[in-house]
Amino acid sequence: MRPLIRAVVLGLVGYVAGAWLTVAVRGGSPSDDVAVTFGFILGLIGWLMGIGVWNAWAREWFGLPAKPDQATGWQRYLTFNTDHKVIGVQYLVTFITVLLLGGFMALIMRWELANPGQDFLDPDTYNKLMSMHGILMIATAVAGILGAFGNYLVPLMIGARDMAFPRVNAMSFWLIPPVAIGLLSAPLLGSFDSGWTAYPPLSVVNEGGQVLFILAVITFGLSSILGGLNIVTTVATMRAPGMSWGRLPIFVWAAFAASVLSLLITQFFAASLILILLDRAAGTTFFLAEGGGDALLYQHLFWFYSHPAVYIMVLPAFGVMLEIITHLARKPLFAYKVVVAGFWGIVGLSVAVWAHHMFTSGMAESLHAPFMALTEAISIPTGLVFLGALGTLWQGRLQSKTPLWLAFGWLFNFTIGGITGIYLADVATDIHLQDTYFVVAHFHYTIVGGTIFALIAGSYFWFPKITGRMYHERLGKIFAVWLTVGFNLVFIPLFWVGINGMNRRIADYPEFFAGPNAFASVAAYILGAGFLLYAGNLLWSARRGPAADPNPWGARTLEWQLPSPPPEHNFPLLPEVVGHPYDYGIPGSVHVAPMTPEGGEEA
Amino acid sequence: MTTKVDVQGLRAKSRLGIRVAVWLGILTVIEYFIAVEVTNPLVWLLPFVAAKGWLIMRYFMHVDALFEGGH
Amino acid sequence: MALSAGAAHERAEALSRPRANRLGLWLFFASETFLFAAFISARFVSSGTYKPEELNQPLALFLTVVLLGSSISAYLAETSIAHGNRQGLIRYLSITILLGLAFLVGVGFEFKEAIEYFPPETIYGSNFLALIGLHGFHVFTGVVALAVVLRLGTKGHFEPDDYWGVEGVVKYWHFVDLAWVVIFPTLYLF
């Protein structure tokens, strides 16, 4: 506990010092944008140094020996621990918590939206709540799978002892709590009401909470960049003998592709938010028309990150689901190479589609057709990945387990999300549908139906590996059905109200939409209640569940060849990879040579 | 603590570096005069930017070491 | 004969460590390139290749030469320690830091001048100052990192077969120079 307390204290001291110094130098109020900015920066440094960057790392820059934290047991999870498995669990627990928190906010909004007219949220509060829900969920989708399973599984799956940069890895996790604190304390400064997209000019002129949003999201971006850098370097340099690129487990490919994307384009989100911060705090005029600025510039910079960001969210989800489907269908992964090519096709195209978010913004007409065509082209690589999943399931020996049940829900949801996306990519229909609940329903089908389903399915599938215990199978299956049905009941009606013109981001709507909205609200509470079952099952099983077999699914990838949970530094001997990981049912096929003292790498 | 200084190697490498720096300087000066003399010099200057960037990455940042192991 | 667990891992680690360090640093540069690209594209999108009369091109040329000089001295510092010459390391690192500081002073002067001629309330001024400021911030962090490495060098750290600290910081410094190679024409020449 001590490092955590030290981090909180130093963070607060840093914040107060930064804000106070700013006021001392330039006057003004300690709650104005400049003071908050410097306070946040110094507070962030204080927090990081307190949690362990100083002891485990920065001391070396001054010629002092590093003093890594020696905590053991559950206390490891509250310290600057460099074990990738600890960091994976830290991410998993953090983002499941954020997911539940963001979901709770959605329930409050659905309560307000259950009837037309104003019930208990005024429009302003509603917008602030909507913005908070948005950014928390985006963060969960971006970093949930990549942070949790990317960290936990990538080194295990490629036969490495840890990530390439364990301390950078620990830091990328410990950058997350200041993000959460920054976002959740924004209401103290009037919160932010510009959605997670933070479009100017509103985000330049609204209340001070927007500054905390900007600083928190830039910090979150830094964490994503460092995490991505780590995964790319790890996969490129630390694969076990025999683990050629053609033998990488599909999740590693997916995490690798998503990390390349995240490493590069996240800077554009940071840049666009830095420019907003400069407009607010330094008197520049990037996005304000009176000085010659242009708000559309923000949209271009922002969507250059934020559209590929949906692929940062969904590529790791593809990886998780293909792992689950292959292992539980007991068949070789169908068209492995084509699926990998699909991943890279998505990465390549994803940076060339951003302006499809801007068809109605007034940008140059000449951009409409190319962006429509490129956007629709991205369904080709995505379709290849989908065919990989379907081809693997076809005539497989399906094992009826919770993760596979969720995989079927995922296939259904993501199909709907993909098909409805075509109408939004198409200029003619998008002009009618933009900013309606059709958009809301579409991206919830892709992000919740695609990414969050994978996060949940993965948390069941690797639960025995992470905890060494088994979850309750029947409760798991009940939840899988509950989640899939509940989710669809909430969002199917929203397509209908969207087509008929109900605008999003507004706390009220005409009488005409009352029926479907009431239905969606009731369904939302049913869906929300289901998460009690989810959390209850996993929390109870983690402590009391029956001890799990090291390899309950009979899977061939490397992480399942180790005891559960795997020991520190993972492998007693360097594993030797001799074949493809998914050759189920092919006589004589082997992925890893037996990890006995004779089987390790020869000297 | 006392490591032997490899004088020969050091001198050769230093000469190489200085030669590259001189080239960079020459390119910069030419670049500057083109910019001052020509209206709309963007197209003319891009090759200079590319050449300077390549020199720095190749000789100062040792980008090719990325594709070998060890020191 | 199989290696014991620890020995095998240490050998694999020793083989992959320099590669991993270098790759990680280059990936960081790739990422930073996107940050600079965002600012540079903002400049072209909002004000094209517009250049005001008051632009101080000679000062920028001088600053370019200063930064170039610091890059060659950084190169010499790294080359020195790679060949076992500690005095060279210390001397050239000190020169690099001094040139870096000179660059920062020059940029500060330029900043002060620029605020008068094209204030941040104009779109051209916004872009100009933001880009200069972004690059200046990188130079500043580079100087700090060089100072840390210099202090470690004077205390006897780094050997010809173990100087990743120097190599990494010097590479970062070259990267900052590389960024200027693009920013200089972007702001002053195009």
Q: Inform me whether the C-beta atom of residue C19 falls under 8 Å from chain B C-beta atoms.
A: yes
A13-44 tens-digit pLDDT? 999 999 999 999 998 899 999 999 999 999 99
Nearest to A294 by CA among A306, A281, A284: A284
Q: Residue A96: helix, strand or coil by DSSP?
A: helix
Distance CA C70, CA C72 (A): 6
- Show the tokens assigned to A23: 């006021």
Give 10-residue mean pLDDT values along chain A (603 residues). Answer: 92 96 92 94 96 93 89 90 95 96 96 92 94 96 96 96 94 96 95 94 93 97 96 94 94 97 95 96 92 92 95 96 96 95 96 94 92 94 95 94 97 95 94 95 95 97 96 96 97 96 93 96 96 96 94 94 91 89 91 66 41
Q: Chain A, 293-352: which have a CB under 8 Å from a chain C CB?
A: 293-294, 297, 300-301, 304
Q: Find the CB nearest C152 among A63, A267, A278.
A: A63
What CATH number has the domain bearing residue C123? Answer: 1.20.120.80
% chain C with pLDDT above 70: 92
Q: Inform me whether the C-beta atom of residue A238 falls under 8 Å from chain C C-beta atoms.
A: yes
Segment C11-37 shows an average pLDDT of 87
Per the CB < 8 A criterion, the answer to whether C146 and C97 are in contact is yes
Q: Inform me whether the C-beta atom of residue A281 falls under 8 Å from chain C C-beta atoms.
A: no
Neighbouring residues of A373: CB distance < 8 A, sequence distance ≥ 6: none
Q: Chain A, 394-453: which have a CB under 8 Å from a chain C CB?
A: none
Taking an 8 Å cut-off on Cβ atoms, the answer to whether B35 and C185 are in contact is yes
Task: Say yes or no: A4 and A122 in one domain.
Answer: no
Per the CB < 8 A criterion, the answer to whether A248 and A591 are in contact is no
Q: Inform me whether the C-beta atom of residue A589 falls under 8 Å from chain C C-beta atoms.
A: no
Structural domain includes residue C9: no
Would you say how long chain B is, in residues? Answer: 71
What pLDDT, on a 0 to 100 scale, did the predictor assign at position C54?
82
Q: Find the CB nearest A238 among C20, C28, C42.
A: C20
Q: Which chains touch B (3 or more CB pairs under 8 A)?
A: C
Distance CA A378, CA A374 (A): 7
The secondary structure of A459-498, three-state, reads HHHCHHHHHCECCCHHHHHHHHHHHHHHHHHHHHHHHHHH
Band (C9; pLDDT cuts 50, 70, 90): low
Nearest to A88 by CA among A162, A139, A138, A177: A162
- Show the tokens assigned to A34: 């400049």
DSSP line for C152-177 = HHHTT--BTTB-HHHHHHHHHHHHHH
Task: Report the amino acid identity of residue C156.
Answer: G
Q: Chain A, 60-99: which have a CB under 8 Å from a chain C CB?
A: 61-63
Q: Which chains touch A (3 or more CB pairs under 8 A)?
A: C
Per the CB < 8 A criterion, the answer to whether A520 and A546 are in contact is no
Sign of dihedral through CA atoms A568, A573, A579, A584?
negative
Q: DSSP character for C3?
A: P
Q: Residue C2: helix, strand or coil by DSSP?
A: strand
Task: Say yes or no: A373 and A420 in one domain.
Answer: yes
Per the CB < 8 A criterion, the answer to whether C35 and A270 are in contact is yes
What pLDDT, on a 0 to 100 scale, did the predictor assign at position C10?
64
- Domain extent, residue C92, equals 17-49+56-189
Torsion of CA A77, A79, A80, A83, to 10 degrees: -30
C interface mutation test: which of A222, A226, A239, A267 has the most C CBs within 10 A? A267
- Residues in B touching C18 (Cβ below 8 Å): 69-71
**φ and ψ of C2, to 5 deg:** -75, 145
Distance CA A174, CA A164 (A): 17
CB contact burial C117-143 (16+ within 10 A = b; e otherwise)? ebbbebbbbbbbbbbbbbbbebbbebb
Structural domain includes residue A166: yes
Where do we find the tokens 């005029």?
A285
Q: Which residues of chain B have pLDDT under 70?
A: 1-3, 68-71
- Show the tokens assigned to C125: 């001024």
Of A361-365, C124-128, C135-139, give the range with the top mean pLDDT.
C135-139
Neighbouring residues of A91: CB distance < 8 A, sequence distance ≥ 6: A143, A144, A147, A148, A151, A173, A176
Neighbouring residues of C21: CB distance < 8 A, sequence distance ≥ 6: C164, C168
| pTM to 2 decimal places | 0.94
Q: Find the CB nearest B71 among C161, C182, C190.
A: C161
Task: Say yes or no: A99 and A153 in one domain.
Answer: yes
Nearest to A171 by CA among A258, A106, A91, A253: A91
Q: Inform me whether the C-beta atom of residue C14 falls under 8 Å from chain A C-beta atoms.
A: no
E strands, A247-348, where? none
Cis peptide before A565 (omega within 30 of 0): yes
What pLDDT, on a 0 to 100 scale, did the predictor assign at position A338?
96
Helix axes A250-281, C5-47, angle to 10 degrees: 40
**A184 half-sphere exposure, CB direction, 13 A CA radius:** 11
Q: How many CB atoms lie within 10 A of CB C50?
A: 12
**Which residue of B lies nearest to C76 if distances are taken between CA atoms?**
B14
Where do we find the tokens 């690798």?
A256
**Which residue of A lies nearest to C4 if distances are taken between CA atoms?**
A573
- Residues in C touching B48 (Cβ below 8 Å): 185
Annotated domain spans of chain B? 10-67
DSSP line for A18-86 = HHHHHHHHH-S-TTSHHHHHHHHHHHHHHHHIIIIIIIIIIHHHTTPPP------GGGGGGS----HHH
Segment C40-54 shows an average pLDDT of 88
Task: Say yes or no: A342 and A403 in one domain.
Answer: yes
Structural domain includes residue A520: yes
- Domain extent, residue A29, equals 1-62
Per the CB < 8 A criterion, the answer to whether A564 and A468 are in contact is yes
Distance CA B15, CA B23 (A): 12
Q: Inform me whether the C-beta atom of residue A163 falls under 8 Å from chain C C-beta atoms.
A: no
Structural domain includes residue C184: yes
Alpha-carbon gap: C164 to the closest alpha carbon of chain A (Å): 12
Q: How many CB atoms lie within 10 A of CB B70?
A: 11
Per the CB < 8 A criterion, the answer to whether C39 and C47 are in contact is no
Distance CA A511, CA A115 (A): 8
Task: Say yes or no: A405 and A317 in one domain.
Answer: yes
Per the CB < 8 A criterion, the answer to whether A151 and A323 are in contact is no
Distance CA B58, CA C168 (A): 15
Task: Report the amino acid identity of residue A203.
Answer: S
A303-326 tens-digit pLDDT? 999 999 999 999 999 999 999 999
Q: Is C162 left (phi over 0), alpha (psi -120 to 50) or beta?
A: beta
Nearest to A315 by CA among A337, A342, A338: A342
Domain tally, chain A: 2
Q: Chain C, 130-159: which have a CB under 8 Å from a chain A CB?
A: 130, 148, 151-152, 155, 157
Per the CB < 8 A criterion, the answer to whether A147 and A227 are in contact is yes
Alpha-carbon gap: C124 to the closest alpha carbon of chain B (Å): 18
- Residue A497 CB-density burial (10 A; 0-12 exposed, 13-18 middle, 19+ buried): buried
Alpha-carbon gap: B58 to the closest alpha carbon of chain C (Å): 11
Alpha-carbon gap: A106 to the closest alpha carbon of chain C (Å): 33
Structural domain includes residue A207: yes
Distance CA A316, CA A313 (A): 7
Distance CA A375, CA A425 (A): 6
DSSP line for A342-392 = HHHHHHHHHTT-GGGG-TTTT--GGGHHHHHHHHHHTHHHHHHHHHHHHHH
Distance CA A565, CA A542 (A): 12
Distance CA A169, CA A157 (A): 17
What pLDDT, on a 0 to 100 scale, did the predictor assign at position A603?
35
C70-120 tens-digit pLDDT? 999 999 999 999 999 999 999 999 999 999 999 999 999 999 988 988 888
Q: Inform me whether the C-beta atom of residue C92 falls under 8 Å from chain B C-beta atoms.
A: no
Alpha-carbon gap: C115 to the closest alpha carbon of chain A (Å): 11
Q: How many CB atoms lie within 10 A of CB A25?
A: 11
Taking an 8 Å cut-off on Cβ atoms, the answer to whether A285 and C126 are in contact is yes
Taking an 8 Å cut-off on Cβ atoms, the answer to whether C82 and B13 are in contact is yes
Alpha-carbon gap: C123 to the closest alpha carbon of chain A (Å): 5
Distance CA A225, CA A214 (A): 16
Structural domain includes residue C167: yes
Distance CA C48, CA A474 (A): 63
Per the CB < 8 A criterion, the answer to whether A174 and A51 are in contact is yes
Q: How many CB atoms lie within 10 A of CB A124?
A: 13
Q: Find the CB nearest C159 among B3, B41, B70.
A: B3
- Beta carbon pairs, B and C, within 8 Å: 103
Domain tally, chain C: 1
User: What's the mean per-residue pLDDT of chain C?
Assistant: 90
A interface mutation test: which of C25, C27, C154, C172 has the most A CBs within 10 A? C27
Per the CB < 8 A criterion, the answer to whether A560 and A159 are in contact is no
Taking an 8 Å cut-off on Cβ atoms, the answer to whether C83 and B52 are in contact is no
Structural domain includes residue A591: no
Task: Report the amino acid identity of residue A566.
Answer: P
Alpha-carbon gap: C124 to the closest alpha carbon of chain A (Å): 8
**Which residue of A lies nearest to C166 if distances are taken between CA atoms?**
A61
Q: Residue A592: helix, strand or coil by DSSP?
A: strand
* Run of H or E including A454: helix A453-461
Taking an 8 Å cut-off on Cβ atoms, the answer to whether C42 and A268 are in contact is no
Task: Say yes or no: A208 and A283 in one domain.
Answer: yes
Q: DSSP character for A120?
A: S
Alpha-carbon gap: B6 to the closest alpha carbon of chain C (Å): 5
- Residues in A touching C140 (Cβ below 8 Å): none
Alpha-carbon gap: C118 to the closest alpha carbon of chain A (Å): 11
What pLDDT, on a 0 to 100 scale, did the predictor assign at position C5?
54
- Residues in A touching C24 (Cβ below 8 Å): 164-165, 168, 229-230, 233
Residues pairing with B32 in the sheet:
none
What pLDDT, on a 0 to 100 scale, did the predictor assign at position C6?
57
Task: Say yes or no: A45 and A151 in one domain.
Answer: no
Residues pairing with A602 in the sheet:
C2
What pLDDT, on a 0 to 100 scale, did the predictor assign at position A467?
95
Q: How many CB atoms lie within 10 A of CB A122?
A: 11
Alpha-carbon gap: B2 to the closest alpha carbon of chain C (Å): 9
Distance CA A339, CA A315 (A): 11
**Which residue of B lies nearest to C182 if distances are taken between CA atoms?**
B49
Q: Which chains touch C (3 or more CB pairs under 8 A)?
A: A, B
